[in-house]
Structure 1
């Protein structure tokens, strides 16, 4: 049975990251639209899949899984030899420990401060609310201080969990790509050349560019091998 990915119409958030992993690992899947605008995510049917009424959700022949990072790790563990390897082998104890360390850092020291900024410059605008400048300034200061540490780490290694691209790097692609279109270029600052180099590589991944440009349906076909370009 082909995997089913329940996601919204917009290529963003965790759904986009899961779709990217599916494409990089060349895993066939069916894209099923959850109409967020009409609150389909809060329907009784969807709440059976995700008790919090969110996306993404993965259905693997009746095995239902939600939460982006859990889905991505599941895909890597189930298909370790397919497409691109995106995590250390389970037998690599130290590699797994460094992967888990980097994954924890991504949540605590990137995602959370980044989301404060996205809330002000992206989400508030989408909801028709004004930007709270004090909150934005505080968010930029906090996020910038975390990126200063990223700069030090990425000066010593190519990616966040070592010298190989991994799921942890891809986790950073939830909402951070929306910052530059909103006029916040903190991830491409010349003052942090290693962060800039790393970030430009992530957003320049061919599979990511195609996903953003052509949507989930295209990448579902890409994963299944009906198109090329990953």
Structure 2
């Protein structure tokens, strides 16, 4: 890329694109261009976009000759590329990095699916209260594990904010804040509540919300 500017294809309201945006802002990266691709309108299925992302999804990051998709791969790349600036969010030692990676996997494999399942019912109209309650109960079992972890550390990977925490913001915000299920999810889980209030109040995340 002649101008050396990162190009991010997606929309801010997308949970996966938002995950990348908050990481860019935490790392103090301002020299990037958001190229809007609205997959809900079929824009992901164009030959041009599928040449970048063969599954027709978002986000996609272009950095020079590199074209990268899958949001968690992208945020790892950003954390590495801009390691010397902004917030240190990928761990300073091999042990810290391993814990960041572990909790990123927990987010992807446990939190994300259970949260999205609850979100599906919370966002429905009309709301099926029985199914919503069942999905929140299932999600609560994941949050119980978080509560135990956060009783011993300020953030998931330790006493420093990391990619593992940031990766929860987009999906969590929709359930906890947009659809106002935080009071139910945080009931009896004071450490989860404190953690959520801490990470969701960060200036980088507020910038993403302004874009949604």
TM-score when normalising by structure 1: 0.83
Judged with a 3 Å threshold, the aligned counterparts in structure 2 of structure 1 residues 186 and 106 are, in CA distance, closer, same or farther, namely farther
The aligned residue for residue 74 of structure 1 is 77
Aligned residue for 2:143, secondary structure, equals helix
| Structure 1 runs, 4 residues or longer, greater than 6 Å off | none
The aligned residue for residue 44 of structure 1 is 47
Distance (whole Å) between structure 1 residues aligned to residue 79 and residue 178 of structure 2? 31
- Kindly indicate whether residue 208 of structure 2 is the aligned counterpart of residue 211 of structure 1: yes
Alignment of 1:91-102 (within 5 A): 92-102=93-103
Distance (whole Å) between structure 2 residues aligned to residue 18 and residue 190 of structure 1? 30
Which stretch shifts more, 192-201 or 132-141? 132-141
Judged with a 3 Å threshold, the aligned counterparts in structure 2 of structure 1 residues 177 and 113 are, in CA distance, closer, same or farther, namely same
Contact 1:118 1:176 in 2 (8 A): no
The aligned residue for residue 60 of structure 1 is 63
Q: CA deviation at 1:108?
A: 2.3
Contact 1:5 1:29 in 2 (8 A): yes
Consecutive unaligned residues of structure 2, counting only runs of 5 or more, are: none
RMSD over aligned Cα, in angstroms?
A: 1.8
Which of residues 156, 160, 166 is equivalent to 2:156? 160
Provide, for residues 126-169 of structure 1, a one-character-per-residue CA deviation record: whole Å limited to 9, x for no partner. xxxx5444432221111111111111110100001111000000
TM-score when normalising by structure 2: 0.90
The aligned residue for residue 143 of structure 2 is 147
Aligned residue for 2:39, secondary structure, equals coil
The aligned residue for residue 30 of structure 1 is 33
Which of residues 171, 185, 189 is equivalent to 2:186? 189
Aligned length: 207
Distance (whole Å) between structure 1 residues aligned to residue 21 and residue 183 of structure 2? 25
Tell me: higher relative CO, structure 1 or 2? Use CA pairs within 8 A at least 6 residues apart.
1
Distance (whole Å) between structure 2 residues aligned to residue 75 and residue 209 of structure 1? 19
Distance (whole Å) between structure 1 residues aligned to residue 10 and residue 71 of structure 2? 11
Provide, for residues 74-115 of structure 1, a one-character-per-residue CA deviation record: whole Å limited to 9, x for no partner. 0111111011111114xx222222222212211222111111
Consecutive unaligned residues of structure 1, counting only runs of 5 or more, are: 217-230
